[in-house]
Structure 1
């Protein structure tokens, strides 16, 4: 068994992507800055995961500033020195997100939403709005298919697209790390309470459509009113029971 395979067995509660990211991240953190960790193929084989799973783990590690990836002769994965902002995101993602921790993360997300909406009003481009509408399309498709979990994940992707517009690196890093924490520990969504879930999802879908429309036309009053309504009515993850890993 390889060293990376042993590292991946340390926490069976994590997904394969998270296990691979944790194992390679630990390897990078223990190596000198700039040290070559191996080729992508070598490390993927040592982790024993599929190519798509491995590439997703690399995306996570690169976004956290833990590794760099170089192509060509002598290329591969190299240990990077995380910036203070990246270390802040890592500390959030290192939390053991039990169900109560996920609820706390949702509260933090809600508190940051108005700041990101302000930034989106001031800085979003036509390309940014197109990305937001693409997430809305996935929300609509999953809603029509009755896929509550898919709808919630598409909703988070919309919020991530809004957050990426912000020029505030600290705000963006904290927010995206909180979203990653919530999403990575969500297993499934089931109806809760007496209200029909399709009815609730339809209302949330329309609220987000209206929010993106307000951002598109730079309607500050409408956008802030909608994000307030978004965060003071029942939240997406609380519209149903979110089962966490």
Structure 2
């Protein structure tokens, strides 16, 4: 029998029993080979196996259903039916975390420039004859008259994105890019005639760039395709600066009240009041300046403050707890308390999805390498005295380590550079890919990673050398010789 109470979650907050049960269920499903379509057990059997009550089991199953890894089938022959981890759930978890921590447009566009460029370069290499008819079809659609409806336009642009991601053959890029676009593109249709006209103009310009992009992909010209991506990002970035006044705020920075849902968005998650309420509570915490452990209020207070039902509030709190934005405390003086944001839940869900899609070697190396180089470059530009001291201490430690220990601890360097880069979106993705590597068994895959680790660190060293000369002959010297 699995013991949910003994399952350790890599998170800064204590996991609730239902979370531990959900993790134990996923672990046990994985142990039998993740047989999609098989009934894992009835409600009564699962309650007995995990020694829990019906309420706890049902909460755990709701989490599994939200993740897309299983669902409860009622009736004769029913039970917990195993399914594949859902891509939408993983992308939404990444986007939600970025939104709740109020990642800025500037950070989002830095990350998108890297990820979208990587996607089109891979697509240009891999596009084959069977892909050309779909590319031509998209070119024809992009050449038609603008529909005048933001959501229709976004659907078409999403179709182009999905085509590029599919051709690239890279599940990690596809997942990350969808998350970035979900959190970047959502809002209310401009009511001001000038603003609306500007958005329509930019849509038209983006269409022309997308046509040129697809033509470049058909011709196998990755560099030209990358130029069109950069042009497109420049146009939309300039539009945000014009309409929002800059890039220092995030897409929902001003969302301090439970306003109506956006009427255009890549994801319809905003249709749910609980999601909007979670964002509002996170924004209010940020605006208040409250630190970790500070009390926000009791459930009745929060219901009255936001004018919502208990069910909506509890669903919003559940989202906030999963991302460690808040935590609940029972008893006298209890209520909702401020916590320290932690992406462990988000990363775990994304790793589950990616682990079921492609072998590591097909999607990991290129993205990991480029993310490492990008965050190293940003860290070099933005490093302060404290960051320099922190990095130097880590490099000294890695210099003394052997190859096996360096492999085991390589994630420390990735995370350190990611945090010093000042870009929380890239830091999240670095953490995700590091966790993905660690999720694979030892043996051949570990040896493959070890072979590339010296190459990664050598590139990082050359990029970072002007800031930390010790790197040059230190941490990389063993595997770069």
Same fold (TM over 0.5): yes
Q: Which SS does the other structure have where 1:189 is aligned?
A: coil
Q: How much does 1:117 deviate?
A: 0.7
CA separation of 1:200 and 1:32: change in aligned 2, threshold 3 A: closer
* CA-to-aligned-CA distance 1:148-192 (integer Å, 9 cap, x gap): 332133213311221122233333332233334456xx3543366
1:116 equivalent to 2:109? Answer no
Once the two structures are overlaid, the 10-residue window that deviates more, 111-120 or 198-207, is: 198-207
Structure 1 Cα separation of the partners of residues 88 and 152 of structure 2? 28
Between Structure 1 and Structure 2, whose CA radius of gyration is higher? 2
* CA-to-aligned-CA distance 1:63-105 (integer Å, 9 cap, x gap): xxx24899xx95886245859x999756414427369547354
- The structure, 1 or 2, with the larger RCO (C-alpha pairs under 8 Å, 6+ apart) is 1
Structure 1 Cα separation of the partners of residues 208 and 216 of structure 2? 12
Partner of 2:99: 97
CA separation of 1:153 and 1:102: change in aligned 2, threshold 3 A: farther
* CA-to-aligned-CA distance 1:121-157 (integer Å, 9 cap, x gap): 011234434444444555555x532113321332133
Structure 1 Cα separation of the partners of residues 128 and 42 of structure 2? 38
Partner of 1:10: none
Structure 2 Cα separation of the partners of residues 99 and 106 of structure 1? 16
Partner of 2:258: none
Q: Which SS does the other structure have where 1:144 is aligned?
A: coil
Unmatched 5+ residue regions in structure 2? 1-18, 30-39, 44-64, 245-250, 252-261, 271-481
TM-score by length of 2: 0.32
In the TM superposition, 1:24-103 aligns within 5 A as 29=22, 32-33=25-26, 34=29, 35=40, 62=68, 66-67=69-70, 78-79=81-82, 89=91, 91-95=93-97, 97=99, 100-101=102-103, 103=105
Partner of 2:148: 146
On the 8 A contact 2:42/2:80 being kept in 1, the answer is yes
RMSD of aligned Cα (Å): 4.6
TM-score by length of 1: 0.56
1:189 equivalent to 2:189? Answer yes
Partner of 1:206: 208
